Amino acid sequence: MSQYAAILEANQHYSRDFGEKGKLPLPPARRIAILTCMDARLDPAAFAGLKEGDAHVIRNAGGRASDDAIRSLVISYKLLGTQEWYVIHHSNCGMEFFTDAAIRSLLANSLETAVLEANGFTDVGEGPGSNAGDFVNWLTFSNLRQSVIDDVHRIREHPLVPHRIPIHGFIYQVESGDLIEVLEASAIGAAG
């Protein structure tokens, strides 16, 4: 069922009380950027105490340091002045529940939505599928803590990222709402 009408109605309520938000400056007030997962259970504004205009929030599947995420972080500091970055992955992340090979196989069989079962994702749709997924790096992972370390390391070593920007690594616990620092990742991301 489409959420079209509900979204438009919500927007009418939101814009009615928009007030001075239209005058917020382009650079984020707190000079931070957060790279995190697109998972609907994560509300970066709530868990990081943000309000509109405070931070750049970059989201993708897994909160991974993809080329596009790094592109956004570079724009964030170079043109809009962010001075501190946070990489925040989370517990019970769907990116841990499949491999690149698994999603490629699912897509080759069918473009319909798969179902998550006890043994992983199962394709319940019928073809046609597509082999175009063979050319995508899906950035899946099997070790949550290591994925944070790897992403902070990838960002830190990128030639367009200045060493003066600290990059912190965290895991958000979806079960409790806690942010747990991955100390090894934050040490790698320390400003130098």
Question: Rounded mean pLDDT of the chain?
Answer: 96
Q: Write out pLDDT tens, residues 55-105.
A: 999 999 999 999 999 999 999 999 999 999 999 999 999 999 999 999 999
User: pTM for this one?
Assistant: 0.94
Q: Distance (Å, rounded) from C-alpha 121 to C-alpha 37?
A: 19
CA–CA distances in Å: residue 49 to residues 43, 46, 55, 95: 10, 5, 10, 26
Q: Provide mean pLDDT across the span 30-44.
A: 98
Q: Where are the domains of the chain?
A: 26-98+140-188
- The model's pLDDT over 152-178, given as tens digits with 9 standing for 90+, comes to 999 999 999 999 999 999 999 999 999
Q: pLDDT at residue 16 above 80?
A: yes
pLDDT at 83: 98
What pLDDT does residue 20 have?
Answer: 92
pLDDT at 1 over 80: no
Helices 144-157, 67-78: crossing angle, 10 deg rounding = 50
Q: What is the pLDDT of residue 151?
A: 98
CB neighbours of 140 closer than 8 A, spacing ≥ 6? 62, 95, 96, 98, 99, 100, 103
Q: Say yes or no: domain 26-98+140-188 is CATH 3.40.220.10.
A: no
pLDDT in the model for residue 120: 83
Question: Would you state the pLDDT for residue 119?
Answer: 83
Q: Name the token pair of 101.
A: 């090979």
pLDDT band of residue 127 (cuts 50, 70, 90) is confident
Mean pLDDT of 11-38: 95
